Amino acid sequence: MKLLSKSKIQKLIRTAKRVGLHAYAPYSGFKVGAAVLTSDGHTYGGCNVENVSYGATCCAERTALYKAVSEGKKKFLAIAVVANDKKRPIPCGICRQVLWELAGDLEVVLIRGSDYEVFPLSQIYPQPFQKQKSL
């Protein structure tokens, strides 16, 4: 896996932090921002949007990825995730699966304060569901 340059990581972090400010999290208070980097160099940001019916909530990671897909993007290099919490934010299981299916083994930048760590998605989601061949 090709590692991102520090400047690309910093751009993703800035975008994730900026869009995270727009999170709608009146129930959990857990505001999350994410930014996805496409293979052609575009960056798309997204925040979490909660709903009183928790199943209708959309996480920041999916919001960012869906925005990119809705603009015709199909190849992704990385996603950065930041939250208003002291712990390192880890994408939920649903987000990991959606990331795997739409983006493959991209780099995941997890931001805590001014520090960050980079992981391949396969390290934090080692056994994803795979597309089934039709019978």
Any idea which residues carry the catalytic annotation?
Answer: 61
Residue in 76, 19, 68 with CA at minimum distance from that of residue 48: 19
Cβ count within 10 A of residue 68 = 25
Cβ count within 10 A of residue 108 = 26
Enter the tokens of residue 11.
Answer: 């751009």
Residue in 76, 123, 118 with CA at minimum distance from that of residue 99: 76
Q: What CA–CA distance (Å, rounded) separates 38 from 64?
A: 11
